[in-house]
Amino acid sequence: MNGDKDLESRQLQVKLQAITADIRTLADSHQGNTLALLSLLRALEHSHREIRENLFQASLPDNRQALYSLLRDIEETGGWPYIDRMKLQLLLCNLLLEAEPDEVLTTDVSKEG
């Protein structure tokens, strides 16, 4: 029985690696295309939310022993999955840092006058 679970786990890992490679190839093929990459990130976030809400939550354990086992496994295998969002403020700071120093000074001076 445990051998079946190990085989299933290995097969899942192989499939996940293939999917991850496909996603990376897709992202690389759109390097520099902000809107395409944003669309990819949105699709990944949507898939994450859909799996979490429709499948994962329904599969959660219904007793303490199974819950403990799940939490221990989560801790041992890399923690809770999370899709980080870039904060708008960080995006604006990055844009400011990339701007020419003269542009920033001109913008600041024009605001004062």
Tokens of 101: 């120093």
C-alpha span between 19 and 74 (Å, rounded): 21
**pLDDT for 38-72, tens place per residue?**
999 999 999 999 999 999 999 988 899 999 999 99
Distance between CA 103 and CA 14 in Å, rounded?
50
- In this prediction, residue 20 carries a pLDDT of 97
Predicted model pTM: 0.67
Q: Residue ranges of the domains in the chain?
A: 32-83
